[in-house]
A and B are shown apart, each in its own frame.
Chain A
Amino acid sequence: MHFDLDSEQRDLAAAAADFLGGSASPGVARGLLDDAGAAIAPGRVELVKSGFAAITVPESAGGGGGSVLDLAVVAEQAGRVLAGPSLVTFARAAVLLDGDDTRLAALADGSLAVAIHDGGPVLDAVGADSFLTLAGDDIVIGSGTVTTRDPIDATRGLADVEIGDTEVVAAGAADRWRTARLVGQVVLAAEGLGTAARAVEVGIAYTKERHAFGRPIGSYQAVKHALVDAYVAVEQLRSLVWWGAWAADHAPDELPLAAAAAKGQAAVALEGAAETLIQVHGGIGFTWEHDAHLFWRRAKVDRFLLGDDVAAFDEVARIALAGAGR
């Protein structure tokens, strides 16, 4: 049994942290809310240039030829600094375009700025010029008319999209669409892991420094235990994200359960961590200037992406009950 990251993955995480932390931050996320014209960080161009976006694109198409686990390791780091666009978009596109080396190469070199359309608000629609969607059982790609609305979390680039003319990428590929969505759930959970872990860290740091009634507030059990509960949920999430990513790479039979479990736990753990972060800060945590609400915004939006947590837990139950007694 070796259920842990290896040294190469740890190096990858460090490199991703360096790159992403160089531009993205909660401050940038706040800037996007203050000024609709501000640029997301690191942004699509830089993210593609770094090579991290195309980790799961095969080497033959100019990608990294890496695993979903590799991508999840990077996604965790992206989540820590509220980076955008989301690696979920690239992870799904890489699966959907499987075998189409021309488009995969365009995804990897940045000439194809794609987002995935599930029927509702589209993640990373802002800045995308092409949209992949499911039409009947076919995966199709086409242009789209993007209508932005007032965002809760501007780093997600969400918008309503009306699809224009399309062409078929893969016919009779509903299974592939489903797989791409499951991989997307795992990567989304990995980003949520990073965001939640960072929120807990920020909360811990503050409660060690802030004093009330003559001692650090982190010494009070009411405050300490709230942070511990958030931390425990984050560590359970870490285990489920690793399992989900491993299943995506090695055990497709386990992926539906693992992806739904990771998705559901991510929604709950991130919401818990973000709300705890605000609460332990008191009044300052409720201000626009403080970073806490940027983690909270991510939590309140991400819980609805790729299905909500209620749907994820329902799916877990359906799968577990279908397998009962076997």
Chain B
Amino acid sequence: MDFDDTPDEAAWRAEVRGFLTEHKAELGDRGTRLDFDPEVAKQRQALLYDAGYVGVTWPVEAGGRGGTPMQQAIIDQEMARAGVPGLINLIGIGMCGPTVIYHGSEDQKSRYLKRLLRGDDIWCQLFSEPASGSDLAALRTKAVQDEQGDWHISGQKVWTTLAHLSDYGILLTRTDPDVAKHRGLTMFVVDMKAPGVTVRPLKQMSGGADFNEVFFDDVVIKDSERLGDVGDGWRTALTTLMSERLTLGGGGTEIGVSIERMAEHVADRIVGLPDERQALVRQDFGRAYVASLGMRYTGYRLLTAISQGNLPGPEASAGKLAGTTAARDLADLAVRLLGDDGVYAAQSDGTDTWQTLQAVLPGMAIAGGTNEVLRNIIGERVLGLPAEPRADKDKTYRELAAAGA
């Protein structure tokens, strides 16, 4: 057992760290706000791509460098360590791109992939709908093929992160309502600037507007922009969702705020408190700190598996579940320690780190799999517990829709 890099990993880490140090001024600082200037963010991604640090696990012919998940994990760690903001096109890299790699035509690959990695085009993922969130396969957005072979799209997507900045999206639609709901789906690449696409930002409870509603009003997509076979969209979507775990790796990193920063905050604030209150703060902080340590070292187990060439399995879902809970407890304590400032959206000096974190975290427990869905995944696929009986089995989508489901 050891926590050391192999010689190859150490060399790679030194190279990445050297680059980030040298270009720190251009790369900028990980800020307290989650919104950012898209042009600056695109330039940042281009700089990192041109240096070879974006999409390292992608095949060379797709614009990547055919590297290992461990190399990607080291980049993630070093970017966090250097305080460099994350990549703007993370959803494109983690989900849309891999789907194009697996299911796209050669023409699509050559047109899209390199520009995606470089941040020249921003991508979004158009899956969730107002009536289908966790139950993704219940989606309603319709795609109908005309006599020329073109597809006509009508419907609505929602919670679409980055849609307001996106050039392209991967779009999951229903092409056949008369089969079981998982079977009648088809995926496309959609041009987000095409006629009939309307993007409306949704203001979040945290005040930011990172996600959107997207309306499709008879949007025309060429059949050559289809990803995977007609009716095979569910399988295509599974590729998308599985790629996320692999590409993002992410073992050993934390959600929202670093535990060291949190410790500094507590250390600053605890000194002015009465002794009995200090004891309560230490108890809360100690418990949340142990949760973070548990997450960090569990992340190292995941990284170990990755460094040995294994792919993260469904047990990786436990990391997000535990991380969300730990971050919530830390944010709660952090705001509590602000004293009277804790009732305002910012401190009197204008800083709002902890209030912002507090307001962002409820979304983390929902996005990318709600805590409840993650518990189902772990319960059924890791612990082997039986699945809940389903009311939608052996019914076509049309029958379900007629019943209001």
Residues of A within 8 A of B (CB): 1-6, 69, 200, 204, 207-208, 215-216, 218-221, 224-225, 227-229, 231-232, 235-240, 242-243, 246, 257, 261, 264-265, 310, 312-318, 320-321, 323-325
Residues of chain B in range 147-184 having any CB-CB distance to chain A below 8 Å: none
Using a Cβ–Cβ cut-off of 8 Å, how many residues does chain B contribute to the interface with A? 52
Chain A positions within 8 Å of B9 at CB level: 1
B394 shortest CB reach to chain A, Å: 17
Contact A1 B388 (CB under 8 A): no
Chain A positions within 8 Å of B382 at CB level: 231
A237 to B384, CA, bound (A): 21
Contact B264 A325 (CB under 8 A): yes
Chain B positions within 8 Å of A2 at CB level: 1-2, 304, 307
Binds A, one of B37-45, B194-202, B372-380: B372-380
Is B395 engaged at the interface, CB distance under 8 Å to the other chain? no
A1 to B378, CA, bound (A): 26
Query: Given A219-B388, A235-B298, A239-B300 in contact, is the A3-B3 Cβ separation under 8 Å?
Result: yes
23 examples of A-B residue contacts, CB within 8 angstroms: A1-B3, A3-B300, A3-B303, A4-B1, A215-B389, A221-B375, A221-B376, A225-B375, A227-B385, A228-B379, A228-B383, A231-B378, A232-B322, A235-B318, A239-B297, A243-B293, A261-B294, A265-B294, A314-B283, A317-B266, A317-B282, A317-B286, A320-B259
Partner of B297 from the list A69, A243, A313 (CB cut-off 8 Å) is A243
A257 to B259, CA, bound (A): 14
Which of A207, A313, A314 has the most chain B CB atoms closer than 10 A to its own CB? A313
Contact A240 B385 (CB under 8 A): no
Chain A positions within 8 Å of B389 at CB level: 215, 219
Query: Given A232-B318, A239-B301, A325-B267 in contact, is the A1-B4 Cβ separation under 8 Å?
Result: yes
A321 to B267, CA, bound (A): 5
A67 shortest CB reach to chain B, Å: 9
Chain B positions within 8 Å of A224 at CB level: 375-376, 379-380, 383, 385
B254 shortest CB reach to chain A, Å: 14
Q: Mark B289-318, 1 if CB is under 8 A from A, else 0.
A: 111011101101101110100000001001
Is B270 engaged at the interface, CB distance under 8 Å to the other chain? yes
Looking at chain B's contact residues, the main secondary structure is helix
| Chain A residue with Cβ nearest B296 | A239
Query: Given A310-B283, A313-B282 in contact, is the A236-B385 Cβ separation under 8 Å?
Result: no
Chain A positions within 8 Å of B264 at CB level: 324-325
A195 to B280, CA, bound (A): 30
* Top-9 shortest CB links A-B: A313-B286, A236-B294, A239-B297, A317-B286, A317-B282, A324-B267, A224-B379, A324-B263, A218-B385
Contact A5 B1 (CB under 8 A): yes
Query: Given A208-B385, A219-B385 in contact, is the A239-B294 Cβ separation under 8 Å?
Result: yes
A265 to B300, CA, bound (A): 18
A290 shortest CB reach to chain B, Å: 20
| Chain B residue with Cβ nearest A318 | B282
Q: Mark B1-41, 1 if CB is under 8 A from A, else 0.
A: 11111000100000000000000000000000000000000
A276 shortest CB reach to chain B, Å: 12
Chain A positions within 8 Å of B279 at CB level: 314
Contact B290 A321 (CB under 8 A): no
Partner of B298 from the list A227, A239, A321 (CB cut-off 8 Å) is A239
Contact A317 B376 (CB under 8 A): no
Chain A positions within 8 Å of B304 at CB level: 1-4
Is B285 engaged at the interface, CB distance under 8 Å to the other chain? yes
A313 shortest CB reach to chain B, Å: 3
Contact B386 A313 (CB under 8 A): no
A97 to B379, CA, bound (A): 46
Which of B3, B285, B294, B388 has the most chain A CB atoms closer than 10 A to its own CB? B294
Is B143 engaged at the interface, CB distance under 8 Å to the other chain? no
B180 shortest CB reach to chain A, Å: 21
B295 shortest CB reach to chain A, Å: 7
